[in-house]
Amino acid sequence: MSAAPTLDPGTHEPPDYLQVQSSAEFDELRRAHRSFAFPLTVAFVLWYLAYVLLSSYAGGFMATKIAGHLNVAFVLGIAQFVTTFLIAWWYSRHAAAKLDPKAEAIKSRLEGDA
């Protein structure tokens, strides 16, 4: 049986998070996130709302057969799922390429200062 390692909190001061939050680095990270996430969120909500409104008020159009038993409503419904997964994939690529390196730089600077 071994003893659990002790964690020495040390004598360092915690990072000044308010200073970090007001830094140009953090502003750039926030801007990179918002410039991607907000427009894409608005676009998806509008796309979803269009689907719901069409389903509610354009039943004849949504019942239009496309091929066999497939109608417009089914195709647009499946497209909702497809766009959800595409947006998640696209965001993960964006985060890995643009957000994660900036966040890691801020984290490294904070841990280096600590």
pLDDT in tens, the chain (114 residues): 555 555 666 666 777 788 888 899 999 999 999 999 999 999 999 999 999 999 999 999 999 999 999 999 999 999 999 999 999 999 999 999 999 999 999 998 888 765
pLDDT at 11: 65
Q: What is the pLDDT of residue 58?
A: 97
pLDDT of residue 65: 97
- Strand (E) or helix (H) holding 2: none
Rounded to two decimals, the pTM is 0.76
The pLDDT, as a whole number, for residue 5 is 56
Distance CA 69, CA 55 (A): 17
The Cα 48–Cα 18 span in angstroms is: 37
Residue 29: other Cβ atoms inside 10 A: 19
First to last CA, the chain: 33
Separation between Cα atoms, residue 60 and residue 39, nearest integer Å: 31
- CB 2 within 8 Å of CB 100: no
